[in-house]
Amino acid sequence: MTWIAVWRQLKRNRLALLGLVIVAFFIAVALFAPLLAPHDPLAQSIARAGETPSAQHLLGRDELGRDVLSRLIYGARISLTVGLITVVIGAGIGVPLGAISGYFGGRTDLVIQRLIDIMLAFPAMLLAIVLVSTLGVNLENAMIAIGVVSIPVYARLVRGTTLVLRDIEYVQAARAIGLSNAGIIVRHIIPNLLSPLIVQSTLQIATAILWAAGLSFLGLGAQAPTPEWGAMLSSGRTFIRNAPHIVTFPGLTIMITVLGLNLLGDGLRDALDPRMKL
Amino acid sequence: MGVYIAKRLLMSIPVLLGVIILVFLMVRMVPGDPAVVMAGEQATAEQVDAIRAELHLDKPLPVQFGLFMHDLAKGDLGRSPRTHAPVSEEIGARLGNSVVLMFTSLLLATVIGVATGVISAVKPYSLFDSLAMLVSLIGVSMPVFWLGLMFILLFSVQLGLLPAAGTGTWLHLVLPTVCLATVPLAMISRMTRSCVLEVMGQDYIRTARAKGLPERVVIAVHALKNAFIPIITVVGLQMGNLLGGAVLTENVFAWPGLGRLMVDSILARDYPVVQGTVLFIAVCFVFINILIDVLYVYLDARVRFD
């Protein structure tokens, strides 16, 4: 299926288009943060802490007098980075693992699947929390932890499809003319996995942003004064009585971004392959 | 059936062993000397040595593991260097709170989720269906901890109706329960809708209608009964979401459960408690999954025991 055909499908789905717009906006904000932010996201002004929204500070000031809007704009950079890095880690390890497992089968498959079973024996969020506590509490390690936790999702997805593909005629033909196993996996198996991987990764970015915010909220991710959305909620929660705007806007931002990614992911799935089960 | 359960339990042994090894290693792979980290900055050399000796950190890793397994077999998870209480007591003191919260949330999510899912499926693409779809989409896109904060803002701060934190009365349970139930509710509702819709297209539903049964009976008896099994599976799959969400929810509402104990212990570098709590939750999760598999087989005669 060509990209033009996918676009034609996607265009008919209003919710998916809404998702696309939200995601495009989110990426643009992340890329052009320094141009868009009206103030320095780290500049404090204790005397004016907790000020409600005004013309100069559209979303108000936070508990240290910093501009909430500017912090949210810079926070988009962090969330986009989190999303991309965790997908690179998860897919980068999960895809080859799943392809090897499904393609070679036998003992290799058994060993890889048992390892994945052990990872799946933990509730995902719990595994991420434990990994962070082992690696050390900071945003980089939170990204690594979330990436590692998403490995099983990719490995399972790729293994299932590879199991079907390896016995298909053109793969057998490639083997017959002497293409190496690595060549077959890279040239014939992985390209066929592209559609489900794109869908999975879009949804995975949404999950990663939610989890990274969760870890930061618990104090196990981004640390002060980083303008990470979850960390903003964590440091602002004490002021919920007197300055509720500090915790309202970061949460709304997370929700809209994640909703956009979910809508786009669902739409892409319908456009790429309606029968795909994810 | 007995054979199936026995087989399923046997199959879980390598996974359980893997879980134990993983948790054991993770706590010992902490950067730096775990004994020094745990003792804190003001500790004397004697205190560090005492912790090292108590946790057997001075011995080679395989010996440590042997001792760890030996203690584990007796149900001994070690002591917290922070509170000096046995880890098993720390877990026991909070287990009840977590179980209550998760049970009420799962109950709420299942009852409301199945109900909205069925109504949506009976009248697909109706206003109710579209609204339910939108709400569940928003539900899975929201950070649960933020939803919790918004609940506190509205029901505790603004309206003063419900307590914002702690335990005590059943009123304390309301906000955390609704908060934790959101994601599972959305998932259960969406899955119920698609399961019931699929069943409604089957021949026996057409037969039931053709022989003149009222729609109410067709849905309640023929459709729901057959959609029940996949719904059970989805409810079971929510256990992971529930355990993960509980960590965040307990934190927001200062609910003294296992999730909060774990996070507090991580931040205080109380590794024996971290190790014990994680191990306990993971082992519970493995057994819950076995239970769901068994239930699934028991309910669906088509699934063969081998």
Average pLDDT over residues B75-81: 83
Identify the structural domains of chain A with CATH numbers, from first to last: 3-276 (1.10.3720.10)
The count of C-alpha atoms lying within 13 angstroms of the C-alpha of A116, restricted to the half-sphere facing its C-beta, is 22
CATH number at residue B294: 1.10.3720.10
Q: From residue B89, how far is each of A259, B78, B93, B251 by CA, in Å?
A: 42, 10, 6, 20
Beta-bridge mates of residue B79: B86
| Residue A169 CB coordination number (10 Å) | 8
What are the φ/ψ torsions at residue A178 (nearest 5 degrees)?
A: 95, 20
Average pLDDT over residues B47-76: 84
State ipTM: 0.88
Give the position of tokens 């699929």.
Answer: B198
Q: Cis before residue A225, ω within 30 degrees of 0?
A: yes
- A-chain CB neighbours of B247 within 8 Å are 125-126, 129, 218
Q: Does the pLDDT of residue A23 top 50, yes or no?
A: yes
In a domain, B141, yes or no: yes
- B-chain CB neighbours of A259 within 8 Å are 137-138, 141
Count of the separate structural domains present in chain B? 1
In a domain, B75, yes or no: no
Separation CA B190–CA B168 (nearest Å): 34
In a domain, B275, yes or no: yes
**A58-89 pLDDT, tens digit each:** 888 888 889 889 999 999 999 999 999 999 99
Q: Write down the pLDDT at residue B306.
A: 45
A201-231: burial string, b at 16+ Cβ within 10 Å, e else: bbbbbbbbbbbbbbbbbbbbbbeeebbbbbb
Separation CA A258–CA A252 (nearest Å): 10
Average pLDDT over residues B75-87: 84
Q: Write down the pLDDT at residue B277.
A: 92
Give the position of tokens 């206003």.
Answer: B127
CB of A266 closer than 8 Å to CB of B158 = no
Q: A50's torsion region: left (phi>0), alpha (psi -120 to 50) or beta?
A: left
What are the φ/ψ torsions at residue B54 (nearest 5 degrees)?
A: -65, -40
In a domain, B37, yes or no: no
Choose among B137, B143, B247: nearest Cβ to A210: B143
Nearest CA-CA partner of A258 in A22, A11, A68, A33: A22
Give the position of tokens 């007995």.
Answer: B2
Q: Write down the pLDDT at residue A15.
A: 87
- B-chain CB neighbours of A126 within 8 Å are 243-244, 247, 262, 278, 281-282
The count of C-alpha atoms lying within 13 angstroms of the C-alpha of B137, restricted to the half-sphere facing its C-beta, is 22
| Residue B13 CB coordination number (10 Å) | 9
Choose among A126, A132, A214: nearest Cβ to B278: A126
**B16-51 pLDDT, tens digit each:** 999 999 888 887 887 777 777 777 777 788 888 887
In a domain, B189, yes or no: yes
Q: Does the pLDDT of residue B302 top 70, yes or no?
A: no
Q: From residue B215, how far is each of A149, A165, B197, B209 by CA, in Å?
A: 46, 44, 14, 7
Choose among A237, A262, A263: nearest Cβ to B149: A237
CB of A118 closer than 8 Å to CB of A112 = no
Q: Could you report how far apart the first and last alpha carbons of chain B are, in Å?
A: 10
pTM summary value: 0.89
CB contact under 8 A, A233 and B157: no
In a domain, B74, yes or no: no
Nearest CA-CA partner of A73 in A117, A109, A27, A4: A27
Choose among B137, B248, B286: nearest Cβ to A218: B248
Separation CA B204–CA B5 (nearest Å): 33
Separation CA B300–CA B227 (nearest Å): 11
B224 vs chain A: nearest CA distance in angstroms?
23
Residue B240 belongs to domain spanning: 87-304
In a domain, B262, yes or no: yes
B2: its two tokens:
């007995």
A82: its two tokens:
């989190």
Chain mean pLDDT for chain A? 89
Chain mean pLDDT for chain B? 86
The DSSP call for residue A222 is S
Q: Write down the pLDDT at residue B105.
A: 95
In a domain, B269, yes or no: yes
What percent of chain B is modeled with pLDDT above 90?
Answer: 31
* Three-class SS state of A61: strand
**B237-278 pLDDT, tens digit each:** 888 889 888 999 999 999 999 999 999 998 888 888 998 999
CB contact under 8 A, A122 and B19: yes
Q: What angle do CA A135, A136, A142 make, to 5 degrees?
A: 75
CB of A36 closer than 8 Å to CB of A71 = no
A259 vs chain B: nearest CA distance in angstroms?
5
B185: its two tokens:
């509710």
